[in-house]
Amino acid sequence: MKSLQVLTPNKKCIFDCPFCIAKGHKHNNDFVNNYENNYLKWESNLIKILKENKDLKNIVITGTNEPIQDIKCIKDIVRITRKYRSDINIELQTRYYKYDKVFDLIDVVAFSVSDYKLLKKVVKTKNITRIVVILTDNFNNKTLTDIIKQFDQRIEQLTFKIIQDSNGYNKKLDTWIDKHKANDETINNLKKQIINYNGNISIMFDETCMDSTNRYMVFREDGNLYKDFYEVK
């Protein structure tokens, strides 16, 4: 396992993104919250995973809501990881664009942005900053140059993500995505422009972020390890 997605405990998200894949899981993110109810179990299981998986290179702090809603949990994950595996890179996925001191503890802060106008709101963090463009129709007809010009030029990384639907489970979600995903022409043009880009920003295109195979596993608030975001024990 190269990467571990560590989830902060589920709660109602302060945002209500219409494309939120967390709303598209059959388990409805309903897991026992051992982070709060049985902390020692949660912590000892995380330590065990860190110690046993020597090939683990990356921890990604994320959630089924905005992880910044649980700064204490973020700090605990960072503290434990630094103590037992100081070699591991720690990433935080967020759409909270105001600077928070907790960003200083993180190696890579990845800000999701689904609206072209919001690109300029992303703050440069102390270490590496990544912008993750969620390809909604808001980006239709925008070029790579248009997008890069919008944000702080000190930002080091840029990832484009195709929106993933729930494969029929959440009809409202899937209908919205079908109507509001970026058009093929925009996506194809961006892919060509990325190939020809020779600037300083590291750029990636991610078409399969929910496919965990050979990529990552998931550690939930119940203190258990899952093979992906869909599995229920």
Query: Given the rule CB under 6 A, which of 15-23, 31-39, 163-171, 176-184 is the region that contacts ligand SF4?
Result: 15-23
User: Is the CB of residue 218 less than 8 Å from the CB of residue 45?
Assistant: no
22 is a contact residue toward ligand SF4 (CB under 6 A): yes
Closest CB to ligand SF4 among 144 and 212? Answer: 212
Instruction: Give CA–CA dist 6/62, Å, rounded.
Output: 6
Cβ neighbors of 104 (< 8 A, separation 6 or more) are 125, 126, 127
Residue type, 100: D
87 is a contact residue toward ligand SF4 (CB under 6 A): no
3, 8, 65, 81: residue in contact with ligand SF4 (rule CB under 6 A) = 65
CB atoms within 10 A of CB 183: 13
DSSP 3-state assignment of 186?
helix
Cβ neighbors of 190 (< 8 A, separation 6 or more) are 143, 144, 160, 205
**Contacts with ligand SF4, 137-176, as mask; x by CB under 6 A:** ----------------------------------------
95 is a contact residue toward ligand SF4 (CB under 6 A): yes
15 is a contact residue toward ligand SF4 (CB under 6 A): yes
16 is a contact residue toward ligand SF4 (CB under 6 A): yes
4, 6, 17, 122: residue in contact with ligand SF4 (rule CB under 6 A) = 17
Instruction: Give CA–CA dist 62/107, Å, rounded.
Output: 14
Binding site residues, ligand SF4, CB under 6 A? 13, 15-17, 20, 22, 64-66, 95
